[in-house]
């Protein structure tokens, strides 16, 4: 079998799901088997489409079973930009598509090719709307009650309202946020309402979206300790691990990092310096199914749990599901369960889910495919979604 082409599709189904369009990648072969991947990012779609055209000569004509060799080939070709960002996005989408092709060629689900299942379903956690998009603690309480009633027991939210930040006149140059005492109090009120609605046994997480200065991150972490969180996510930006160490040494709250850490190499200092209690690689950005498995094994050796990040399109959650079926140190797979309706409009078959779990099927490969008959109506121009500042 030989790879013959790479095709890209930029798709926006509705405003009820992702605010940015999904970038799907299909790898075609001379035997009629097509592999599905995804490279969705908030801003990078136009540049990534060009990048996929750039790497075509590198992989057209190659046997798609050579998943590792192709991973290494793309990664090292762009070693002068350190194999991160655009490179790891390219690697991820192609890797996922090649695993899909391999599964279809062998008539096996991908999780069976990754060592086989260690569980019979994959538990999920979901979100309530972040505070900056909602109206206050009563809203948090009501939304949490709704999600609990839908069968979820693990919930993440961002309780920090950036509109109330103090002391800065942002022109966009400084993206490190300063949290005022009022903003921290609002965050605590928000999380107290979530805990009140969810009950004492619900598993709650707070996402800081990697945007606070170190002192704000520490102050907010301390103020939230009583909520008994599973984790406090990306309290500081990912570039400076000494800042993360400072948060760790000055708070009593489990920490999670990873959606902005790309490839196994970015995880080495997190593990070696015991900076995190959970890791959350994004399968579309960190290096695909192959790399998620490797990072999962690294985490296992440090007795750290893994919880794949997911905030993109359906290939993201489904490829994360296949890894999660096989990783013994899984915590939960992230989802935005309210997006599943939009997923089902463009997939045939759709993945199977029940309550707060995704269920395996015997479908070969990823077990999902784009429905090209309906996809046409959702194709959009990625340039029109660019928002900067
Ligand atoms: Mg996050």
For the beta carbon of residue 55, count every other beta carbon within 10 angstroms. Answer: 19
CA 261 to ligand 1 center in whole angstroms: 11
Backbone angles phi, psi at 237, to 5 degrees: -60, 165
pLDDT of residue 290: 98
Summarize pLDDT for 317-376 with one digit per residue, the tens. Answer: 999 999 999 999 999 999 999 999 999 999 999 999 999 999 999 999 999 999 999 999
User: Percent of the chain having pLDDT more than 90?
Assistant: 89
What is the C-alpha to C-alpha distance for residues 242 and 259, in angstroms, rounded to an integer?
A: 18
What domain range is 23 assigned to?
A: 3-109+373-385
What is the C-alpha to C-alpha distance for residues 71 and 290, in angstroms, rounded to an integer?
A: 9
Q: Which two tokens stand for residue 49?
A: 């489409």
Summarize pLDDT for 69-115 with one digit per residue, the tens. Answer: 999 999 999 999 999 999 999 999 999 999 999 999 999 999 999 99
CA-CA-CA-CA torsion sign (188, 191, 193, 199): negative
What is the C-alpha to C-alpha distance for residues 224 and 85, in angstroms, rounded to an integer?
A: 32
Statement to judge: residues 193 and 64 lie in one domain: no
CA 91 to ligand 1 center in whole angstroms: 21
Instruction: For residue 59, give the CATH number of its domain.
Output: 3.30.390.10
CA 206 to ligand 1 center in whole angstroms: 9
CA 259 to ligand 1 center in whole angstroms: 6
CA 211 to ligand 1 center in whole angstroms: 11
Statement to judge: residues 135 and 188 lie in one domain: yes
Statement to judge: residues 57 and 148 lie in one domain: no
CA 56 to ligand 1 center in whole angstroms: 32
**177: pLDDT confidence band, cut at 50, 70 and 90?**
confident
CA 233 to ligand 1 center in whole angstroms: 6
Instruction: Please check whether residue 319 is in contact with residue 289, taking contact to mean a CB–CB distance below 8 angstroms.
Output: yes
Quote the number of domains for the chain: 2
What is the C-alpha to C-alpha distance for residues 48 and 192, in angstroms, rounded to an integer?
A: 41
The model's pTM: 0.96
Statement to judge: residues 178 and 259 lie in one domain: yes
């Amino acid at each position: 079998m030989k790879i013959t082409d790479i095709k890209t599709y930029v798709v926006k189904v509705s405003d009820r799901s992702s605010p940015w369009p999904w970038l799907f990648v299909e790898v075609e072969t001379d035997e009629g088997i097509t592999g599905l991947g995804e490279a969705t990012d908030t801003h990078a779609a136009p540049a990534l489409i060009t990048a996929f055209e750039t790497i075509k000569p590198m992989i057209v004509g190659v046997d798609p079973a050579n998943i590792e060799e192709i991973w290494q080939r793309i990664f090292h070709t762009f070693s002068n930009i350190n194999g991160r960002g655009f490179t790891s996005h390219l690697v991820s989408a192609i890797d996922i598509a090649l695993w899909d092709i391999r599964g279809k060629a062998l008539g096996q689900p991908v999780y069976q090719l990754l060592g086989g299942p260690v569980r019979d379903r994959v538990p999920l956690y979901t979100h309530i709307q972040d505070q900056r998009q909602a109206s206050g603690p009563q809203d948090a309480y009501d939304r949490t009650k709704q999600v609990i009633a839908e069968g979820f027991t693990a919930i993440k939210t961002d309780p920090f309202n950036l509109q109330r930040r103090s002391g800065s006149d942002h022109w966009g140059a400084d993206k490190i946020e300063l949290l005022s005492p009022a903003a921290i109090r609002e965050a605590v009120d928000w999380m107290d309402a979530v805990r009140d609605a969810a009950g004492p046994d619900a598993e709650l997480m707070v996402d800081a979206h990697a945007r606070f200065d170190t002192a704000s991150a520490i102050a907010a972490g301390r103020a939230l300790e009583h909520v008994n969180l599973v984790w406090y996510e990306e309290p500081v930006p990912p570039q400076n691990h000494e800042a993360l160490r400072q948060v760790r040494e000055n708070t009593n709250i489990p920490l999670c990092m990873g959606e902005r850490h790309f490839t196994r190499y970015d995880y080495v200092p997190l593990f070696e310096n015991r900076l995190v209690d959970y890791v959350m690689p994004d399968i579309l950005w960190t290096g695909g199914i192959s790399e998620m498995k490797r990072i999962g094994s690294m985490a296992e050796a440090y007795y750290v749990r893994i919880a794949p990040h997911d905030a993109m399109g359906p290939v993201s959650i489904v490829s994360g599901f296949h890894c999660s079926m096989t990783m013994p140190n899984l915590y939960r797979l992230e989802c935005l369960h309210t997006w599943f309706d939009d997923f089902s409009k463009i997939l045939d078959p759709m993945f199977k889910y029940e309550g707060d779990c995704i269920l395996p099927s015997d479908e070969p490969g990823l077990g999902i495919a784009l429905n090209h008959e309906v996809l046409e109506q959702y194709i959009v121009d990625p340039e029109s979604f660019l928002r900067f500042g």
